[in-house]
Structure formats: structure tokens, C-alpha cells
């Protein structure tokens, strides 16, 4: 045997001894056959790839009675005979909203809740060395025992997030603690000088009693900065929790967008110096607080949280998104200068929370305890199964996302009412549960009314639409000041504020439209956001504010704007192709990168010869030109807005240009408008 063959043999032996012992994760996203439950005849199934929803067309067409029923997903699953003696798990990241899983015709169990991951063990349920039949019956039917009962968004049906098969040794880091990682990193005491962290590891053993070693390493790149290990005796068919106190001197802090630095923790399980299992989790060390008078502080420094809310659907896809869609959404938010996001109204993709960690965007994560808003129906029924389902979804949200440094708030409800079955006592129970699950983060909620609901969570925020559904923007200032004066110890935020806009609806004058109408002019949305943001920004006690919404989204019951089935309050169109004027207002205020944008450029056909020209820019000085003629220079106000009033245009075609220099970069924006009047 030559040297080359000896090396190959050594490598193969090393892999067999070490690599094959670690868990195997295999995607099961392909080769599914789908049919509706009413399609009982043979040959009706169609091949689909996960992520998949059956509502991508009917719900987004504004069909009020879009399909809410049962769909069947089937595929074969080959189980390698070499996996005998190991453990096999199926992990689903998201199935909306009820999943019953079968293997070879036998039911493994049911999961209730459309937005959280779940796991079933199939070790004893499969035939080894053969193809096995996997069936998932999915229902998005209306139920009174599963959150949410109602919502201003579509309840898509399907296996709309990824599925994988996970193979482990008989002793492993647990996958079955509410589908979490099995590793919990609790930041107990953190300062710039030292971080005290509790690392809890949940171990699971299926076969004989055995001695194992569990090791936790904190790494900065490849450098190990902290290492702890402990020998544990695992009993047969038992779980064991091991807790390590971890101290890090002079920690490199996760500091939001300024410096989203993360360590990595590698948790490994060993037996007789053989690696059994490994789990890698992020560790972003940070500390924060909220003061009633001064707002949010990250690592001891004040941080004005200016953010957006985000839904998880798109045209032609519904909620069946892939990683690249979450990445694009995050990129657009970063372009606008967002530093916080409310991931509403439900647990969102694991990819999204990972992206928030990596980019430094502070996140509010919440369960789908959603009230009716301005619609009929009710978000709460005082029914034991419903109450337990909500608690279960809260446990899943927290345990599955426990280690994400970006998450600073657990949200407990949105727009509930105290009429009829009163949810107050139940929310108190949820609040206690959230603190028991995670004492390191505060709870919050989104309210739209007065009452006891506003005093149950650690901090509270309001959904306000002053200047859209009612009142005027100045009413927001009155509300905030009066509430803060009446309840000086209350931590007050704005969880939603927004107005609808169609890029196809343009007007010369500024007039408020009827919200429930087919006329949503873009310039009113721009005005709304300019006025509301000024009010919010001038009040440091507002711990955070979140625009509703970052993107237009599907809501089948909406019959308004430029089409049915869409809530058009987004700052970006549903297809992510067009950024509305209000987007650029926020970009000029929140993103320090040089920019210049003429507002109203889509209003190409105008009536009056005398126009006000407005632009958003973070340059110090800008210049306006009409048809090549310099009209004059102007200086942006403190909200990055510049206005030339009473500018005379020519009848017919006009070329409008605004130019500036910022940070040695030449800026130019221009548009062409047509004036149809000689007045």
C-alpha cells in the first residue's frame, strides 16, 4: 500500500470515528406531492417544493372566502440501515396552522400553531433500509382553540418553511425542548468590564445508562476565550440539564448597528473521547434598559429606536418565502436606516432573527395573540384549550429564539379589547410565564385603547393612526404628552403608525383621503409620516417607534387603495420594486449616507403652473433648477427637508432638477412633469 492510500485510509477512519458520530441534517424540501383533502380520486396530486402555500393566488386576489381547509403533503423518505441504533427526528420550521404528521400511516402527533417550529422523533416508527411514507395533513381552517383567531393579514395554509431530517447518536443535545437548540445562554450580569453568563445545556439519552462529558466553548473566531466541561451520568430514557457559569473579562459587546459583534458558543457532547453531538449558537453580549423619562439605552448609551413593522408575505408566493427574500427585506430596511423592527404579528423565520443579529437591528418578537382592530370578531375566547395553546406558542417563541442578541422584547398581544371575555387575567398569566421562561428581557404589547390592558406588561406601546383613520397628526403629540403626564412611570412606545398610499394615485394639492376608499394619494402618506415622525422624535421618553408597515402586504378583506386584497400602508410596494416617497424621508433622517430625493416625482401630470417643490436630503445645501434655469439655493431643515414654495413652471413639459454636494459626493435627482394648465 503506497503513502497516498495510507493517508486516504487514515482520513476515512478519522471521518468514520468522529464526523459520522455528529448529527446529520438533511433537507426534506423536495419531491412532495400535494392535494387538497377533498381531492380523493387518484392522480389529482401535484408535485411541489417546500416552502409552499396553497393560498398564493386566491388570498392575494382579495377573495374573502379564500381556501381555509386541509391540504395533504406526501413524500417517500428513505431510512439508511446504518442509522439503526441512532435517533431520528423530523423538524418542521413552520406549518400553518395545524399539522398532523404520519409515518407509514401511523400518526406521530399534532402541532397547533402556524408560526413556530416543532419536532417529532421517528426512531421507532420507521423501517430501516427502506422507503417510508411521510404524510403531513395541514389545516388553516378557522379554529377557536388556536391563536390567532383573527387578524388584518392572510392566514395562509401549507408547509411554508423548511423541513429536515436530523439524525443523532442515542445520547444527544436535546431537540425536543419545544424544538429549541437545547442550549440556553442567559446574560445575568453584563457590563463593559465583565459578563456573567449562565449556559444551560439540555441532554437527552435514549438507550443504556452512560457517562458523557459536556463541553461549552466560547469562541472569538477560532480563538477559544472560555471553556468549561463537566462529566455527567445519563440515565436511560431521561433528560438532564447541565448548567455552566461563564465569565468573560472585558467582553466585546454586541452594540446594535454600530458594532453587531458576536461570539460563537460550541456545545459538544463526548463519550470516551468520541464526539457525539455539537450545537453552535450565537452569543452577542449586551445590556439594555428602558427609562420612563428617557427611553431605551443599549450598553449604557441612549439609543432612539426608530423602526418598522414587517409581515412575511409577497406576491405570487404568499408566505412561502426563502432565505433570499428575508435578506432582501433586511437590505431594504438597512438602506432606509432602520435600527429596530417589530416582527409582527407572529413568530417569523429563523433566518430573519439571524439577520437581525448579524446586522444589529433591535427586534421585538411576539406571539399571534391578535385582536380584531377595526373589524368584527374577537381575538380571545376564555376557553381552556385556547389559553393553553397561547402559552405553548409563547414557550416556543422564547425557547426557540432565546439566544438571539437582537431580540430585546417579547410581545404578548396586539389590539385586544376587554369587551365580553376579558383577556386581562390571561395576559397576567402570559406575563408571568414570559418572565419564568426568560427573566433577562422585558415584555411588551401593542394596544389601541384605554384600560387595564395597558398596565400588565413591563412596557407598553400604542397603535396610533392620527391623521389617517381619525384626528390630525397633532393629536399624537397630545396623546403622548397627556399619557406621559398621567402615568410618569409608564414606559411608552409607538407600536404602529402609518397611512395608505398607492404609487399610482397622485394629486397636486394636499388633501386627506377617506381611508376605506379606492383613492390613496401618495403625497398624503408622505405628509402623514413627516408630521408624525417630528412628534415622535421630539419626545425622548418614547422608547421606540415602529412604522406600519415596511412593505405592503396581503389582507384579503381589504377593499381600498388601487386594488383589493392589499394593505398599502407599506413604505415599499408589495413586490419590493418601488420605494414610496415616505421611504426617502426616513432615509434622509435615519441613514447618514449622502442622499437626495425629489418628492412627488410620480405626479407627472399636473394642473397648476405654480408648484411647491420638495426634496429630502442630508446635504447641507441644495440647488433647484427648472428647465436648466437656476431657481435658487435652499437649506434643509432639521428633518432633512427642503422646500421651494410658489415655483412657476411652464405649460407643457418641465424638467425639474435638484443638486447638491455632500461629503465630496455630487448628488443629483431629477424628474419630468407635464403641466396641463395655463393658469
b or e along 456-472 (b: 16 or more beta carbons within 10 Å of the residue's beta carbon)?
bbbbbbbbbbbbbeeee
Main-chain phi, psi angles of 361, to 5 degrees: -85, 125
Place of cell 468520541: 274
Going by DSSP bridges, is the β-strand pair 665-675/605-606 parallel, antiparallel, or unpaired? Answer: parallel
3-class secondary structure, 454: helix
3-class secondary structure, 103: strand
Going by DSSP bridges, is the β-strand pair 340-343/305-310 parallel, antiparallel, or unpaired? Answer: parallel
Question: Cell numbers of 282, please?
Answer: 450565537
**365: which residues sit within 8 A by CB, 6+ positions away?**
343, 347, 348, 353, 397, 401, 407, 409, 410, 411
The closest alpha carbon to 459, from 409, 418, 399, 416, belongs to: 409
b or e along 255-277 (b: 16 or more beta carbons within 10 Å of the residue's beta carbon)?
bbeeebbbbebbbbbbbeeebbb
**15: which residues sit within 8 A by CB, 6+ positions away?**
none
Cα angle for residues 348, 396, 398 (degrees, 5° grid): 80
Question: Cell numbers of 205, please?
Answer: 439519552
- The helix (run of H) or strand (run of E) holding residue 57 is none
The closest alpha carbon to 553, from 543, 566, 544, 541, belongs to: 566
**222: which residues sit within 8 A by CB, 6+ positions away?**
none
Cα angle for residues 363, 368, 373 (degrees, 5° grid): 100
Going by DSSP bridges, is the β-strand pair 407-414/443-447 parallel, antiparallel, or unpaired? Answer: parallel
3-class secondary structure, 78: strand
> Does 240 participate in catalysis according to the annotation?
no
Cα angle for residues 55, 505, 586 (degrees, 5° grid): 85
Compute the distance between CA of residue 607 and CA of residue 182 in angstroms, rounded to an integer. 65
The closest alpha carbon to 401, from 347, 439, 321, belongs to: 347
The rounded Cα 318 to chain-centroid distance in angstroms is 15
3-class secondary structure, 31: coil
Please write down the HEC assignment for all residues of 577-588: CCECHHHHHHHH
User: Which of 93, 366, 415, 437 is flagged as catalytic?
Assistant: 415
The rounded Cα 450 to chain-centroid distance in angstroms is 27
Which residues sit opposite 210 in a β-bridge? Answer: 234
The closest alpha carbon to 335, from 587, 616, 662, belongs to: 587
- The helix (run of H) or strand (run of E) holding residue 481 is helix 474-486
Contact 651, 675 (CB under 8 A): yes
Contact 59, 556 (CB under 8 A): yes
Compute the distance between CA of residue 453 and CA of residue 458 in angstroms, rounded to an integer. 12
Active site residues: 415
Amino acid at each position: 500500500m503506497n503513502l497516498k492510500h495510507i493517508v486516504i485510509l487514515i482520513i476515512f477512519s478519522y471521518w468514520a470515528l468522529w464526523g459520522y458520530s455528529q448529527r446529520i441534517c438533511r433537507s426534506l424540501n423536495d419531491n412532495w406531492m400535494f392535494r387538497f383533502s377533498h381531492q380523493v380520486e387518484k392522480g389529482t396530486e401535484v408535485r411541489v417544493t417546500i416552502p409552499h402555500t396553497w393560498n398564493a393566488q386566491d388570498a392575494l386576489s382579495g377573495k374573502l372566502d379564500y381556501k381555509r381547509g386541509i391540504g395533504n403533503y406526501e413524500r417517500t423518505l428513505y431510512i439508511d440501515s446504518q442509522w439503526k441504533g441512532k435517533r431520528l427526528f423530523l423538524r418542521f420550521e413552520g406549518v400553518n396552522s395545524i399539522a398532523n404528521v404520519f409515518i407509514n400511516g401511523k400518526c406521530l402527533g399534532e402541532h397547533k400553531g402556524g408560526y413556530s417550529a416543532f419536532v417529532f422523533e421517528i426512531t421507532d416508527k420507521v423501517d430501516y433500509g427502506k422507503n417510508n411514507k411521510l404524510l403531513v395533513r395541514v389545516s388553516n381552517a378557522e379554529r377557536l382553540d388556536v391563536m390567532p383567531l383573527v387578524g388584518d393579514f392572510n392566514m395562509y395554509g401549507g408547509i411554508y418553511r423548511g423541513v429536515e431530517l436530523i439524525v443523532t447518536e442515542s445520547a444527544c443535545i436535546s431537540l425536543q425542548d419545544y424544538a429549541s437548540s437545547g442550549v440556553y445562554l442567559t446574560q445575568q450580569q453584563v457590563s463593559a468590564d465583565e459578563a456573567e453568563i449562565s449556559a444551560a445545556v439540555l441532554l437527552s439519552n435514549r438507550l443504556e445508562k452512560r457517562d458523557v462529558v459536556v463541553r461549552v466553548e466560547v469562541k472569538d473566531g477560532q480563538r477559544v476565550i472560555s471553556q468549561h466541561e463537566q462529566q455527567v451520568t445519563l440515565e436511560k430514557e431521561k433528560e438532564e440539564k447541565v448548567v455552566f457559569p461563564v465569565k468573560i473579562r472585558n467582553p466585546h459587546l454586541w452594540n446594535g448597528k454600530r458594532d453587531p459583534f458576536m461570539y460563537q458558543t460550541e456545545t459538544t457532547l463526548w463519550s470516551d473521547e468520541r464526539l457525539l453531538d455539537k450545537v453552535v449558537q450565537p452569543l452577542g453580549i449586551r445590556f439594555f434598559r428602558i427609562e420612563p423619562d428617557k427611553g431605551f439605552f443599549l450598553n449604557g448609551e441612549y439609543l432612539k429606536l426608530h423602526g418598522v413593522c414587517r409581515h412575511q408575505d409577497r406576491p405570487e408566493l404568499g408566505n412561502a418565502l426563502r432565505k433570499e427574500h428575508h435578506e432582501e427585506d433586511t437590505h431594504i430596511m438597512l438602506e432606509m436606516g432602520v435600527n429596530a423592527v417589530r416582527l409582527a404579528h407572529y413568530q417569523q423565520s429563523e433566518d430573519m432573527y439571524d439577520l437581525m443579529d448579524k446586522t444589529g437591528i433591535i427586534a421585538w418578537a411576539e406571539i399571534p395573540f391578535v385582536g380584531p382592530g377595526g373589524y368584527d370578531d374577537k381575538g380571545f375566547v376564555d376557553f381552556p384549550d385556547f389559553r393553553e395553546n397561547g402559552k405553548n406558542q409563547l414557550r416556543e417563541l422564547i425557547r426557540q429564539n432565546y439566544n438571539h442578541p437582537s431580540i430585546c422584547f417579547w410581545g404578548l398581544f396586539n389590539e385586544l379589547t376587554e369587551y365580553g371575555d376579558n383577556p386581562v387575567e390571561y395576559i397576567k398569566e402570559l406575563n408571568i410565564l414570559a418572565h419564568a421562561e426568560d427573566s433577562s428581557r422585558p415584555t411588551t404589547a401593542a394596544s389601541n385603547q384605554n384600560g387595564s390592558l395597558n398596565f400588565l406588561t413591563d412596557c407598553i406601546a400604542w397603535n396610533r393612526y392620527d391623521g389617517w383613520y381619525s384626528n390630525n397628526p397633532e393629536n399624537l403629540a397630545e396623546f403622548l404628552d397627556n399619557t406621559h403626564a398621567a402615568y410618569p412611570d409608564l414606559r411608552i412606545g409607538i407600536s404602529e403608525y402609518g397611512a395608505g398610499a398607492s404609487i399610482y394615485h397622485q394629486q397636486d394639492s394636499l388633501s386627506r383621503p377617506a381611508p376605506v376608499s379606492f383613492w390613496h394619494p401618495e403625497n398624503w402618506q408622505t405628509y402623514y409620516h413627516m408630521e408624525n415622525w417630528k412628534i415622535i422624535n421630539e419626545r425622548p421618553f418614547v422608547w421606540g417607534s415602529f412604522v406600519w408597515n415596511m412593505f405592503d402586504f396581503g389582507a384579503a378583506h381589504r377593499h381600498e387603495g388601487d386594488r383589493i386584497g392589499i394593505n398599502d400602508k407599506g413604505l415599499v410596494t408589495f413586490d419590493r420594486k418601488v420605494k414610496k416617497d415616505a421611504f426617502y424621508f426616513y432615509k434622509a433622517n435615519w441613514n447618514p449616507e449622502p442622499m437626495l430625493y425629489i418628492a412627488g416625482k410620480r405626479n407627472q401630470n399636473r394642473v397648476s403652473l405654480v408648484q411647491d417643490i420638495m426634496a429630502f436630503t442630508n446635504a447641507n445645501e441644495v440647488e433647484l433648477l427648472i428647465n436648466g434655469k437656476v431657481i435658487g439655493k435652499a437649506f434643509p431643515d432639521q428633518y432633512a427637508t427642503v422646500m421651494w414654495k410658489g415655483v412657476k413652471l411652464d405649460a407643457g413639459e418641465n424638467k425639474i432638477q435638484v443638486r447638491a454636494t455632500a461629503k465630496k459626493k455630487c448628488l443629483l435627482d431629477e424628474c419630468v412633469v407635464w403641466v396641463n394648465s395655463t393658469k
